[in-house]
Amino acid sequence: MIQTLNPATGEALSTYPCLDAAALDAALTQATRAQAGWARQSFADRAAAVNRLAELLEAEAPVLARQMALEMGKPLAQGEAEARKSALVCRFYAERAEAWLADEAVTVDSGSATVAHAPLGVILGIMPWNYPLWQVLRFAAPTLMAGNTVVLKHAPNVTGTALALAALFDRAGLGEGRYTPLVIDLDATARVIADPRVQAVSLTGSVRAGRAVAAAAGQALKKCVLELGGSDAYVVLDDADIDLAAGACVSARFVNGGQSCIAAKRWIVTAAARPAFEAAVVARLAAEAVGDPLNPATTIGPMARHDLRDELHRQVEASRAAGARVVMGGVCPDGPGSFYPVTLLTDVGPGAPAWDDELFGPVASLIEVADADAALKVANGTPYGLGGAVFSADALLAERFARQLRSGAVGINRGVVSDPRLPFGGIGHSGYGRELSRHGLLEFVNVRALMRA
């Protein structure tokens, strides 16, 4: 059984039975049978269903936002924005998949050749709680448009959101095996990865989860795409526009309560820029409102789970013990719920979790460096490599710096966001493979060569 809790109050919300072995087998059988028929459908028919899903996501955005607020603490306005962005990615692939998967004629020495794209089959998605709609749709929309079917194992604490989303897939004509939610535990998930009816896996989650899924997929000789954690560096150089940099850094760090893989987790600031930058971010952080996610005035809700809040506080305390200075926040509140205050750590150095590890919550880490060369060394001194940003008035310097950052995406005088038009993913402990853009569409197709005499 899976029980969901309200992170704002600690109260139980609902209880859900897990699929037993027979029900899970039936779900995989249905997804397999449905895939053959779905692959034969025209791109126009697939696009019509995916576009209907987009319409439903927009129409049901307030309902979905409330469900997310109750289950994982996302403020209502942010939840509605997530639903609308999820509709956008549906329309994006519905419009482009046919052209992107069209046959490609290739000139060869003799005869002719074609590069063709065929669906792989049933694809397993394992998705996290922090963006319970967006993470699913950015994987499922291209995967379905390519002619695959999807089975989806969502995070347990957002099971209600997962089932509400699955109901929209059904209403759009994407049920009956085309899209199937699996309410299962970790042991059953491992069995699904190993099942020969499943052809590939996409995971968004922690490094620990990524290692487990990659090992299981590798044992079964199946492809996997991994989007894991990040410790994104936002670098502020001497000549940066301080107001621009401070606004981008605060927004990128505290979006979704800081519970984002591409949050600006390390602010690396040169000594010359630090005084003005620190004053600017403190003023902005003072305006953040932590509270009930159902209150429209709230900008930061509770953390998604109590254990996550406790781990974040442990990291803050360990960073303080290692020499970091707590400028604001850093006190774990009493009372119900998984709330944590907006926190700023400065003078962060090596050996502190705020320097070495990923902090997943409303805590910013300010690291002072001497100059651009030192900033680059610190920025790249992490096993992660998802995103990052650099702020400088010198366009050429910023471009050179950005190209040396070890990451999958870089913002130049702006933050990094996931955008359907651009590939999204990382290197190192941030995973491998890509989502979004044409690159994401091609992850779960068989790219094959047809050669003719």
- SS3 readout for 197-266: CEEEEEEECCHHHHHHHHHHHHHCCCEEEEECCCCCEEEECCCCCHHHHHHHHHHHHHHHHHCCCCCCCE
What's the CA gap between 144 and 31, in Å, rounded?
12
Which residues, including other chains, have CB under 8 Å from residue 228's CB and lie 6 or more apart? 203, 204, 205, 206, 207, 209, 210, 261, 386, 426, 429, 430, 431
Task: Tell me, yes or no, if 332 is annotated catalytic.
Answer: no
Measured between alpha carbons, how far is residue 397 from residues 113, 216, 236, 371, 400 in Å? 45, 43, 12, 12, 5
Catalytic residue among 90, 224, 249, 261: 261
Determine the 3-state secondary structure of 94 from DSSP.
helix
CA angle 284, 367, 316 (to 5 degrees): 75
Amino acid present at 82: E
Judge whether 73 and 301 are in contact, CB under 8 Å: yes
Task: Tell me, yes or no, if 227 is annotated catalytic.
Answer: yes
Phi, psi of 190, deg, nearest 5:
-60, -40
Pairing of strands 233-236, 343-346: unpaired
Catalytic residue among 71, 227, 278, 443: 227
**Which residues does the annotation mark as catalytic?**
227, 261
